[in-house]
C-alpha cells in the first residue's frame, strides 16, 4: 500500500463522492489505481461508489478503459496466433452460433438493427459505399471464398483456372473456377444470387443470368458445382466447404456417376 499523504478514509462522504466522480467517472481511473493513490482498498471504493449511486463499469468497459489509459496492454495486439489456434477459435465461435436458440438469434438481430438505426445518415452512407465498393471489387478480383478455394486447389496440385472466360455458343461467360482436366465448372454464389440484397430487380437479373450460364455449361457437356454461400467468410467455414468441394469433385469425376450438377450449401 502506498504511503501517500492522501488518505481516503479521512474524507467526508461528500468529498469521497466528489473524488470518485472525478477520478472514476471523468478520468476513468480504476478502483485499484485510486486506492493506490489514496491509501485505501479497491473493494472499499467499490462499495462506496455503490452507496453513492455511482454506476460501476462492467468488465468490458473496465478493460477498454484500462487499455485506453495505458494501465494495461491490449491482450492480443501485436501477437500472432498460429493457424491451428485460429481454426480452433473459429470452430468454437461457429458452434456457439449454430447452437444458439431462435430467441437469442432474434435478440442479436434486433441489437444489430438498433445499432444501425442509431447511426447518423453520414455513417450509414459511408458503410453502404464501402459495401458496394467491396462487391464491385470482388466481382473483378474474386471473393474471399473464391480465393481460398483457388489456393487450396493449387496446393493439392489440382489444375484450376480462375475467372476464366469461356465461350459457349458464341456467348462469353466468366466461370469462377474451372478444372480443365475434368471439365468441371465451380460457381460460388453469394447472398445476392438468392436474396434481394440489392433489391428485387437485381435479384431477378442475377437469377436469370445464373440460369443461362448453368444451361450453357451443362449443354456443353461439362459438369457444375454450385456453392451457396449464405454466411460471412471465415477460414474455418471455408475449410469445411473445401472438404465438401473435394468430395463433390471426386463424385463428378467418377465415370459411374450420372450426376452433372452438385450444390454445396454453406454450414
Task: Point out the residues of the chain with pLDDT beneath 50.
Answer: 1-5, 140-142
Q: What is the pLDDT, as a whole number, of residue 222?
A: 92
Domain identity same for 135 and 179 = no
Please tell me the predicted confidence (pLDDT) of residue 164.
78
Q: Which domain holds residue 256?
A: 142-265
Question: What pLDDT, on a 0 to 100 scale, did the predictor assign at position 136?
Answer: 55
Query: Residue 126 has what pLDDT?
Result: 79
Asked whether residue 76 is domain-assigned, the answer is no
Within this chain, do residues 157 and 223 fall inside the same structural domain, yes or no?
Answer: yes
Domain contains 2: no
Domain boundary among 91, 116, 140: 140
Q: Report pLDDT for 134.
A: 60
Residue 77 lies in a domain: no
27-72 pLDDT, tens digit per residue, is: 888 888 898 889 898 899 999 999 999 988 877 666 666 666 555 5
Domain count along the chain: 3
In this structure, the answer to whether residues 208 and 221 fall within a common structural domain is yes
Secondary structure of the chain as H, E, C letters: CCCCCCCHHHCCHHHHHHHHHHHHHHCCCCHHHHHHHCCCCHHHHHHHHHHCCCCCCCHHHHHHHHHHHCCCCCCCCCCCCCHHHHHHHHHHHHHHHHCCCHHHHHHHHHHHHHHHHHCCHHHHHHHHHHHHHHHHHHHHHCCHHHHHHHHHHHHCCCCCEEEEEEEECCEEEEEEEEECCCCEEEEEECHHHCCCCCCHHHHHHHHHHHHHHHHHHHHCCCEEEEEECCCCCCHHHHHHHHHHHHHHHHHHHCCCCCCCEEEEECC
Domain containing residue 161: CATH number: 3.40.960.10
**Are residues 155 and 55 located together in one domain of the fold?**
no
pLDDT in tens, 114-147: 887 888 888 877 777 776 666 555 554 447 899 8
Residues 130 and 149 reside in one and the same domain: no
pLDDT value, residue 137: 54
Amino acid at each position: 500500500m502506498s504511503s501517500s499523504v492522501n488518505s481516503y478514509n479521512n474524507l467526508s462522504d461528500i468529498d469521497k463522492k466528489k473524488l470518485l466522480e472525478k477520478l472514476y467517472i471523468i478520468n476513468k481511473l480504476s478502483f485499484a489505481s485510486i486506492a493506490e493513490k489514496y491509501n485505501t482498498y479497491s473493494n472499499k471504493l467499490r462499495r462506496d461508489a455503490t452507496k453513492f449511486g455511482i454506476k460501476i463499469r462492467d468488465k468490458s468497459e473496465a478493460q477498454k478503459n484500462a487499455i485506453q489509459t495505458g494501465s494495461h496492454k491490449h491482450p492480443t495486439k501485436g501477437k500472432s496466433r498460429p493457424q491451428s489456434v485460429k481454426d480452433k477459435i473459429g470452430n468454437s465461435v461457429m458452434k456457439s452460433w449454430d447452437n444458439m436458440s431462435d430467441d437469442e438469434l432474434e435478440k442479436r438481430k434486433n441489437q444489430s438493427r438498433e445499432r444501425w438505426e442509431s447511426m447518423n445518415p453520414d455513417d450509414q452512407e459511408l458503410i453502404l459505399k464501402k459495401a458496394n465498393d467491396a462487391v464491385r471489387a470482388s466481382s473483378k478480383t474474386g471473393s474471399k471464398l473464391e480465393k481460398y478455394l483457388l489456393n487450396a486447389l493449387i496446393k493439392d496440385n489440382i489444375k484450376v483456372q480462375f475467372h476464366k472466360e469461356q465461350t459457349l455458343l458464341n456467348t462469353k461467360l466468366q466461370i469462377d473456377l474451372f478444372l480443365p482436366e475434368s471439365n468441371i465448372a465451380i460457381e460460388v454464389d453469394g447472398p445476392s444470387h438468392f436474396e434481394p440484397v440489392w433489391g428485387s430487380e437485381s435479384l431477378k437479373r442475377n437469377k436469370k443470368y445464373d440460369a443461362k450460364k448453368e444451361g450453357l455449361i451443362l449443354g456443353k457437356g461439362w459438369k457444375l458445382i454450385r456453392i451457396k454461400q449464405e454466411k460471412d467468410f471465415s477460414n474455418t467455414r471455408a475449410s469445411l466447404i473445401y472438404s465438401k468441394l473435394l468430395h463433390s469433385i471426386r463424385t463428378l469425376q467418377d465415370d459411374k456417376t450420372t450426376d452433372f450438377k452438385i450444390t454445396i450449401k454453406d454450414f
